[in-house]
Structure 1
Amino acid sequence: MRKLLFVLPLVLFWACGQKGNVSIEGKIDNADGKTLYLDHLHVASKTTVDSVKLDEEGRFEFDLNVTQPEFYLLRLSNGKLLTLLAEANDKMLVYSKAENMNKKYIVEGSNGSKLVKQINDTLNVTKAKVAKIRKQLEEKKNDADFSTVSQNLVAEYVEAIQAQREFSIDFIMQNATSLASYMALYQKIDNNTFTLNENKDIQFVKIVASSMRALYPEHEYTKAILANYKTLEKRMANLNMAKMIEEKGANFPEIKLPDTNGKEVALSSFEGKFIVLSFWASQDPNSRKQNKTLKKIYDKYKSKGLRIYQISVDQDEELWKKAIKEDKMNWTNVCDVENGSSYAVRLLNVQKVPANYLIDQRGEIVGKDLFARRLEEKVAEYVK
């Protein structure tokens, strides 16, 4: 028993002295008397997890326990800060100066934090180039040769923006499994200019989202990027539709399919009306459920100008017509039974049923895949 009592205090001492699986040590020069905060950076907020008042040497040490990669800020009470990406077993060494903490600093012992530094350093260079070009444009606006000078400067501006975009793309492709790529996706050159600035750049959101979902399915950043990707997908679908409409020179895409009597009905025949362009299948339970909602909405608003142009993807004519009769669908229902209305499905990029587009009286798409109460609210907004 005496031996056990001797060992126990040592065990307790060891347990109390354990540190987290991440350590952050370093030195901030010229920060005597200032407080250094360690903030956990969330998607839309931050929480302070530790702090220390720095002496004239500016040395600090923080310990953390992390189970997955997390963003942290080292923030001085003068407002200067720098971003770190902590991963399990990182032993970080950080050095900086109080006056330009995020511009010139050194970090070792953390691959994630080095990647964050790489993208931030590159962005800072681009920002400096852009700021210089804008200043030159302002200074030379009254020069006699401003037209020529401005063309050259604008060309430099575009080149700088494009170089930053290409860097971000290369970075993401090489580091898609790192949370640092999340930062690379959403960096801005200024308040109105993202580094990834083209519609097709949504593909890189998808790459990072897929990687994060596989590696960290419950991470708050994973949930945020998946939600953002879903929003961007819808926006792209509407943009693609608008582009197609513009190219065709019509208010909305022309679709002409046979109804239950074999008579071809064109979507354009409803021009000037509010249209619910709906896709469904007779054997799909959710489609049949949606038909009940459509019935209720149509009966309520048809006298005020609502029209439904419903496209079935059925390839069995009898089942299609039987469902129309059972659901008492008294609006326009069309179907290319031979091909499952494949042309219309491809044209509007329909991935599943039920699906819908809402087209207002001016031919503009004002909604997509709205169901139940949200569908009725949108219809009521336009049909009065």
Structure 2
Amino acid sequence: MKKLLLALPILLLWACSQKDLVNVEGKIDNAKGKVLYFDRLNTTGAEVIDSVTIEEDGRFEFKVKNTKPEFYLLRLSNGQLITLLAEANESLIVSIKGVDMGKDYTVEGSKGSKLVKELNDKLNETKDHLATIRKDLESKKSDPNYSNISQNLLADYVKALQNQREFSIDFIMKNATSLSSYMALYQKLDDNTYTLNENEDIKYVKIVASSMKALYPEHDYTKAILGNLKVLQKKYNNAKVAKLIADKGTNFPDIKLPNQKGKEISLTSLKGKFIILSFWASQDVNSRKQNRDLKRIYEKFNKKGLEIYQVSIDQDEKLWTKAIQDDQLNWTNVCDTKTGSVNATRLYNIQSVPSNYLLDQKGDIVGKNLFGLALEEKIAQYVK
């Protein structure tokens, strides 16, 4: 009996030592001699917890004390990494197969890590699809049928963005109680474009923030999202007030893009004028023909109050600026050559070029896709 009593405290001590731990083990292929790091991903950056030099068999194992859901990274020194989301007492088994470890791995034993993988898999799929479209646009610029090709590719590009956005929203609504939804809120398609980037998306920040505040009130990520929500709410309120002031009597969304000299010019800066909002492409034959009509109309009505705000969907700055010079376009011309002005085309649901909207002096949209004589007649009704 004495032996049993002596053994009991030791057993309890061992059992307590196994609580509140996350165990991550697995195998990585083709990484012999490389250093695999295990990081904790904080709101301010990554903190190295442990590291191991990979042996011939590719096996690795890490343990870390954990009392709440946390993001972790498995990272090689070449920048390849996997993001995990683990909770206390979870044992994760990770199998890394491909050269691009972030795309070719499996994880078992953690629901949160599976959700993170689902998020990243979809984002990578969308990024790859958008990159393919941009490459196709670039490679087909010399094609005689470029006008039709570019229209179809542009429509495909917009659809891909919409699909990613819908996926992110659906993911958040289904997994609002998981920290993975925090990641879904802040995923980016590139350095400047969030998957959720509309003003009304603040409602999804509110949903995730409310859930995290209830479940993990002291978590650093909870404090971060609540702080971000205050900033976003202030910006949202200011934007609404500004819109009420600036858009009194208007019904068109603003565009702000750089001109050929790099200076950003907004559509609303022309408010008070009759505006032709024109979408075009330098390599599109019909767009170039339309430029000749626009020149004639501009010369006739400009001194009476007509302005043109022309948005190019070009992704080649040299071709865009050369077309402006060759066609002698003297009005406002803007373009985001990195994306083909995709945000502006989404905003106005542009499916083909040339396209246009007519905005009267009050800012009301009074016409759409009018060309030639029909365009001139419509302008004459407002500009006298």
TM bucket normalised to smaller: 0.5 to 0.7
- Residue 190, structure 1, aligned to residue 224, structure 2: no
Tell me: CA distance 1:4–1:203, structure 2 relative to 1, closer, same or farther (3 Å). Answer: closer
Specify the code of the residue in structure 2 equivalent to 1:74.
L
CA distance in 1, matches of 2:227, 2:242: 23
* 8 Å CA contact retained: 2:20, 2:88: no
CA distance in 2, matches of 1:12, 1:224: 37
Specify the code of the residue in structure 2 equivalent to 1:117.
K
* 8 Å CA contact retained: 2:35, 2:76: yes
Q: Report deviation, 1:139.
A: 1.0
Aligned residues: CA RMSD:
2.4
Q: How does 1:111-260 map to 2 (within 5 A)?
A: 111-248=111-248
CA distance in 1, matches of 2:246, 2:46: 44
CA distance in 2, matches of 1:10, 1:231: 52
CA distance in 2, matches of 1:129, 1:13: 54
Name the larger-Rg structure: 1
Tell me: CA distance 1:16–1:168, structure 2 relative to 1, closer, same or farther (3 Å). Answer: closer
Q: How does 1:74-93 map to 2 (within 5 A)?
A: 74-93=74-93
Tell me: CA distance 1:56–1:19, structure 2 relative to 1, closer, same or farther (3 Å). Answer: farther
Tell me the alpha carbon deviations over residues 307-351 of structure 1, each in whole angstroms, 9 at most, x when there is no partner.
xxxxxxxxxxxxxxxxxxxxxxxxxxxxxxxxxxxxxxxxxxxxx
Which has the higher relative contact order, 1 or 2, with Cα contacts under 8 A spaced 6 or more apart?
2
Q: Report deviation, 1:77.
A: 2.4
**SS at structure 1 position matched to 2:142:** coil
Q: Report deviation, 1:144.
A: 2.3
CA distance in 1, matches of 2:203, 2:19: 41
* 8 Å CA contact retained: 1:36, 1:51: yes
CA distance in 1, matches of 2:44, 2:13: 39
State the match for 1:58 in structure 2.
58
Tell me: CA distance 1:249–1:67, structure 2 relative to 1, closer, same or farther (3 Å). Answer: same
Give the TM-score taking structure 1 as reference length.
0.61
Q: Report deviation, 1:164.
A: 0.3
Q: Report deviation, 1:131.
A: 0.3
Q: Report deviation, 1:247.
A: 2.5
* 8 Å CA contact retained: 1:22, 1:91: yes
Tell me: CA distance 1:239–1:85, structure 2 relative to 1, closer, same or farther (3 Å). Answer: same
CA distance in 2, matches of 1:98, 1:76: 13
**SS at structure 2 position matched to 1:248:** coil
State the match for 1:274 in structure 2.
none
* 8 Å CA contact retained: 1:80, 1:98: no
* 8 Å CA contact retained: 1:133, 1:153: yes
Tell me: CA distance 1:93–1:148, structure 2 relative to 1, closer, same or farther (3 Å). Answer: same
**SS at structure 2 position matched to 1:26:** strand
* 8 Å CA contact retained: 1:71, 1:84: yes
| 4+ aligned runs moved over 6 Å, structure 1 | none
Identity over the aligned pairs, expressed in percent?
63
Tell me: CA distance 1:11–1:174, structure 2 relative to 1, closer, same or farther (3 Å). Answer: closer
Task: Point out where structure 2 has 5 or more consecutive residues left out of the alignment.
Answer: 251-384
Q: Report deviation, 1:84.
A: 0.2
* 8 Å CA contact retained: 1:34, 1:78: no
Specify the code of the residue in structure 2 equivalent to 1:147.
S
CA distance in 2, matches of 1:186, 1:82: 17
Aligned residues: 250
CA distance in 2, matches of 1:12, 1:170: 45
Q: How does 1:225-304 map to 2 (within 5 A)?
A: 225-248=225-248
Tell me: CA distance 1:244–1:24, structure 2 relative to 1, closer, same or farther (3 Å). Answer: same
Task: Point out where structure 1 has 5 or more consecutive residues left out of the alignment.
Answer: 251-384
CA distance in 2, matches of 1:20, 1:76: 26
* 8 Å CA contact retained: 2:36, 2:52: yes
Tell me: CA distance 1:232–1:12, structure 2 relative to 1, closer, same or farther (3 Å). Answer: closer
* 8 Å CA contact retained: 1:68, 1:88: yes
- Residue 95, structure 1, aligned to residue 125, structure 2: no
CA distance in 2, matches of 1:160, 1:124: 12
Tell me the alpha carbon deviations over residues 164-191 of structure 1, each in whole angstroms, 9 at most, x when there is no partner.
0000000000000000000000001111
Tell me: CA distance 1:32–1:244, structure 2 relative to 1, closer, same or farther (3 Å). Answer: same
CA distance in 2, matches of 1:7, 1:173: 50
**SS at structure 1 position matched to 2:132:** helix
State the match for 2:36 in structure 1.
36
* 8 Å CA contact retained: 1:20, 1:63: no
Tell me: CA distance 1:176–1:18, structure 2 relative to 1, closer, same or farther (3 Å). Answer: closer
Q: How does 1:363-382 map to 2 (within 5 A)?
A: none
State the match for 1:284 in structure 2.
none
* 8 Å CA contact retained: 2:98, 2:105: no
Tell me: CA distance 1:8–1:230, structure 2 relative to 1, closer, same or farther (3 Å). Answer: closer
